[in-house]
Amino acid sequence: MRDDLIDQVTTLVREVAQTIVLPRWRHLSDAEIHQKSPGDLVTIADQESEVALTAGLTALLPGSQVVGEEAVAADPSVLSHVGDGGAIWVVDPVDGTNNFAAGKTPFAVMVALLRDGEPAASWILDVVDDRMTVAEAGSGAFVDGLRVKARTDNPGAAALSGTVSRNYFPDDLRDRVEAAASGLGTVTGGHHCAGYEYPAVVSDEQQFATFWRILPWDHIPGSLIVTEAGGTVLHLDGSAYRPADSGRGLLVAANEDIWRTVHTTLFA
C-alpha cells in the first residue's frame, strides 16, 4: 500500500466526522431524520458524510469506486461492486445511526479498502471519543497509533462477556440462543453499533460479539481489525467470512479457543 495512504484516510475520516457528523449530534430536526425501512433510520449527517467521504476517498485513489450504505439504499445494484476487482472503498458514513439520531452513543464512521476483493485496510473512528482504530492487512491493528493485540487465553465460558445482536435473528434461533446464554458470564443485546463491538473485542472490553444480519459496511472494517489483532471472525457454520458474503450469522471472538467455547455454548 502507498506509504501515506493510511494517514491520509485517517485524516479524511476525522475531518468528516468533526465537520459534518459531530456538529449534527443532538442538533437534528425531525425533518433531518428519515426511516429507510422499519426501524432503520437515515439522517442528513449520514448522507452528507457519505458524499464527503466518497469525494475524498476517490481523490486519494484515482480510479477507485465507493460502495456506501446510502448509495446502496438509493441503488441496490451498487452493492455488487464489493466483488469487483481493483480498488473498492466500503463506507459506513454513520454506523449506529439509531443511536446518533436519539442523541446517544456509541456511533462511528467506518471505511474499508478492498483490493481485488480482499480487505487491504480499514478505519473505525469512535466519533465522540475521537478514538481511531486502524488495520492494514499483514501489518497489524492499531488504536491511535499504538499496536493492539486481542487476548490469547480462554478463561472459560462462565468468565466470558459479549453481545448477541438479537434483533435480526430468526425467532426460533433467538429463543434458543437466549436460553443458552446463561452458560456464559455476561451476555447483552449489544450496542447497536458494529463500529463499537469489533474494537471492544480487540480491547478485551468484551470477548465476543454475534451478529445475524451481515452487510459489508458493517463488518468488513471490523473483521480486518479483529483478525489483524489475532482474533477470529467466522460464520456460525465455521466457514471464513468473505467481503462479498450475503449469508447470515457471524461470530467474532478474541481468539479461536474463545470462539469455539461461545459457539458450543450458544449454537451447539
Please name the residues in contact with 218: beta carbons below 8 A apart, sequence gap of 6 or more. Answer: 92, 95, 110, 194, 211
Q: Are 151 and 254 in contact (CB under 8 A)?
A: yes
Say if residue 257 carries a ligand binding annotation: no
Say if residue 153 carries a ligand binding annotation: no
Say if residue 95 carries a ligand binding annotation: yes
> At 57, which amino acid appears?
L
Q: Cis peptide before 62, with omega less than 30 degrees from 0?
A: no
Say if residue 197 carries a ligand binding annotation: no
Q: Are 16 and 56 in contact (CB under 8 A)?
A: yes
Which residues are annotated as part of the binding site for Mg(2+)?
69, 92, 95, 218
Which residues are annotated as part of the binding site?
69, 92, 95, 218
